[in-house]
A and B are shown apart, each in its own frame.
Chain A
Amino acid sequence: EDQVTQSPEALRLQEGESSSLNCSYTVSGLRGLFWYRQDPGKGPEFLFTLYSAGEEKEKERLKATLTKKESFLHITAPKPEDSATYLCAVQSYGDAGGTSYGKLTFGQGTILTVHP
Chain B
Amino acid sequence: ETGVTQTPRHLVMGMTNKKSLKCEQHLGHNAMYWYKQSAKKPLELMFVYSLEERVENNSVPSRFSPECPNSSHLFLHLHTLQPEDSALYLCASSQDRASGDTQYFGPGTRLTVL
Contacts and interface: CB of A to CB of B under 8 A. Distances in A.
Interface in A72-102: 87, 89, 91, 94, 100-102
A43 B94 contact: no
A44 B90 contact: yes
A61 to B, nearest CB: 21
Nearest to B40: A108
Contacts of B40: 108
Interface in B66-114: 88, 90, 94, 96-108, 110
Contact of B102 (A41, A46, A100, A107): A46
A102 B55 CA distance: 9
A4 interface: yes
Interface size class of A (residues with CB under 8 A): 20 to 34
A108 B50 CA distance: 26
A49 B31 contact: no
Interface size class of B (residues with CB under 8 A): 20 to 34
A44 to B, nearest CB: 5
A42 B6 CA distance: 11
Interface in B25-79: 31, 33, 40-43, 45, 48, 50, 55
A42 B103 CA distance: 15
A46 B97 CA distance: 16
A34 B55 contact: no
B56 to A, nearest CB: 9
B90 A43 contact: yes
Interface of A: 4, 31-32, 34, 36, 41-46, 49, 51, 87, 89, 91, 94, 100-109
Top 4 nearest A-B pairs (CB, nearest first) are A102-B97, A32-B100, A43-B105, A31-B100
